[in-house]
Amino acid sequence: QLQLVESGGGLVQPGGSLRLSCAASGFTLGNNAIGWFRQAPGKEREGVSCISSGGGTTKYADSVKGRFTVSRDNAKNTVYLQMNSLKPEGTAIYYCARYALSYCSGYNHRQPDYWGRGTQVTVSS
């Protein structure tokens, strides 16, 4: 059964860091680009980042550039999102998602074909 499971969310102070994990089962994650998205209360879901199937290409939303880093370990069938210098505006449910294709071009304008259930990140003092 195909599954994506996010973990690593929690409560963090502004300026703090969290590392999210996206663990895949039921398919070979190394064949697919993986995106990270987030949805804050009362707001539309937005693309945060994308990593190509081999990890050679990464993309970031302007709002997180320089603070977030996406990486992957295909041997572990896992993708990570390191989030540094977190801001209160980063409070959201964070989702990972699988793309049918292997690349990240236009990732925020293409629909993934499978989504995880999300993990809550709360940035507050």
Cα separation, 122 vs 23, in Å, equals: 21
- Show the tokens assigned to 104: 């990240």
- Could you report the per-residue pLDDT of 27-84, keeping only the tens digit for each? 999 999 999 999 999 999 999 999 999 999 999 999 999 999 999 999 999 999 999 9
Q: What is the pLDDT of residue 58?
A: 98
Cα separation, 57 vs 4, in Å, equals: 21
3-state class (DSSP) for residue 92? strand
Quick check: 99 and 107 in contact, CB under 8 A?
yes
pLDDT tier, 124 (very low <50, low <70, confident <90, very high otherwise): very high
Q: What is the pLDDT of residue 118?
A: 98
- Across the range 15-21, mean pLDDT stands at 98
- Could you report the per-residue pLDDT of 86-109, keeping only the tens digit for each? 999 999 999 999 999 999 999 989
